[in-house]
Amino acid sequence: MVEEQFVVFHLGKEEYAVQISQVKEIINYTEPTRMPASTDGMLGVINLRGKIVSIIDLGEKIGTGSQKELKDKKIIIIDNGNESYGVIVDEVTEVIKLNKEHIEKVDSQIIKGNKYITGIAKKENRLMIIIDLNLLTGEDVL
């Protein structure tokens, strides 16, 4: 059985997971420089070792909100080959291994058009919402 590694994080009271292959690094929260006329969920940009990285509030993007102060959050840096960006999450808790038996596809009626959610993982009496952060396209970031 092929297992894949996932980074588990929290947004509000819910647990989420993203394939580790989508994650470049995880950093402590850094206050972004606000950009005028940016889209909903786009908080601004940070300078990450000389590279400008757009920062997205993932909780706002997927409609969950947040429960932590910004200074206590983490930023997951994603590099999809074309661009780098960061998503703000409440906390990153662990890396776990999941196989296809653990993951169920979600009915589109349940997620109501939320294109980032690709499934639900069930492991050890836990439910984790699987998110594909590569689906955050340039139009979402700009």
Pick left, alpha or beta for residue 61 (phi over 0 → left; psi -120 to 50 → alpha; otherwise beta). Answer: alpha
pTM of the model: 0.86
Q: How many CB atoms lie within 10 A of CB 141?
A: 20
Of 31 and 115, the one with more pLDDT: 31
Domains, the chain, in order of start with CATH, read: 3-141 (2.40.50.180)
Those residues whose C-beta lies under 8 Å from the C-beta of residue 97, and which sit 6 or more positions away, are 3, 4, 5, 6
Q: What is the pLDDT of residues 23-68, one digit of tens each?
A: 999 999 999 998 886 666 788 999 999 999 999 988 888 777 666 6
